[in-house]
Chain A
Amino acid sequence: MQAASNSNERVALGALFFGFLQVGLSAFGGGLVWLHRLVVERRSWLDDGEFAELLSFCQLMPGPNIAGLTVCIGSKLRGLSGALAALSGYLVMPWAVGLGLGTLYLHYADIAVLGHILGGVSAAAAGLVIATGLRLLAGRGRRSADLVFAALAFCGITFVHLPLFLVLAGLAPLGIAAAAFASHRTR
């Protein structure tokens, strides 16, 4: 499952810019669904394992996570220029469009039907995020320790309502210890 990416084949900067532009323009309910679709499913720039590992690195970093992930993916594929191409694609135009749309929406916010439409979109978007998480989980094969730790992190947020950083800080040492134990045993 953990195939190395073919990093010899250079990704064009333009492909990065326009790929991430598309992500920014379609990213309803957070960019993760769209980022995974672009980078793993459509372009095969990274595999599921590499994507999940980059994502966990970025979750440990401060600031907007998807912007950080965009920087890391761009940097992994094409260094600093790749990071800049990906980040500017993801941010500049989508941000300007969003500001315009939002201003319009604030003017017409009392139109009930718009609220209903957005309610339907949000409900569907939640399903897409869960599906992307399940795909990432499936991409890791069937290691039971992975399932246990994914479940623990899930429960910490969903049922115990712990802050995200606390969940990570509490479970990370255990998860790393389990991975160390597993790799020691297989050696």
Chain B
Amino acid sequence: MTAPPASFLLSAHLALLSLISFGGVPSVLADIHNFVVTRHGWLSDREFADYFGLVQAIPGPNMILMMGFIGWKVGGLGGAVAGAAAIFGPSCTVTYGAYRLWDRFRLSPWQTVVRRGLAPLTIGLVIAGGFVMARAADHDGPSAALTLAALVLMLATRLNPLLILAAGGVVGGLDLL
């Protein structure tokens, strides 16, 4: 399992996906599952699901961390670093180049129109993302109320959001949900 070719295969595949995962890593998660579980059997179904749940519970770059865990399973620490780097390196390089080009035409009228037209879509997607998270986390009335309370506190106060999350953790830990 710790043979170098496995890490290499994994990283090469992730680097390819990094370049075509338009819409973010979740859009190619099914393909990653297919590659590491079904095709190569490096992980079990259960482990893949565990890693996915795990990275939601840890602060930081979720998907890059998940590729780290998969890489670790496949090839130890080296595999973890390679897997993580493969998922963000290529896409960040492309994004940087594309942004430089995009920024050069920042003041042209057509780009102003494109930016204005796209921004509301993006905002709708952000709110939808929050709803998807809420649907996964809120399995009953009290947990939905907790989501709503966090929303209101975030909008109406200047509280540090970490405090809001900590309060959520306390409510959950006391088994009030």
Contact = CB atoms under 8 A, between A and B. Distances in A.
Interface string A134-155: 1111001000011111111110
A44 interface: no
A52 B61 contact: no
Interface in B56-87: 56-65, 68-69, 72, 80, 84, 87
Interface range for A? 35 or more
Contact of A62 (B21, B55, B137, B165): B21
Contact of B123 (A57, A120, A133): A133
A3 interface: no
Given A75-B100, A125-B133, A153-B125, A99 B68 contact: yes
A129 B129 contact: yes
Q: Is the interface of B mostly helix, strand, loop or mixed?
A: helix
Contacts of A56: 115, 118-119, 121-122
A95 B25 CA distance: 16
Interface residues of B, number: 93
Given A120-B171, A124-B164, A132-B126, A177 B117 contact: yes
B121 A123 contact: no
Contact of A150 (B18, B120, B165): B120
3 smallest A-B Cβ distances: which pairs? A120-B172, A63-B91, A124-B168
Interface of A: 24-34, 37, 49, 52-53, 55-68, 71-72, 75-76, 80, 83, 87, 90-91, 94-95, 97-99, 101-102, 105-106, 109, 113, 116-137, 140, 145-154, 156-158, 163-165, 167-168, 171-172, 175-180, 182-183
Interface of B: 18-27, 50, 54-65, 68-69, 72, 80, 84, 87-88, 90-92, 94-96, 98-100, 102-103, 109, 112-134, 136-138, 143-144, 146-155, 161-162, 164-165, 167-173, 175, 177
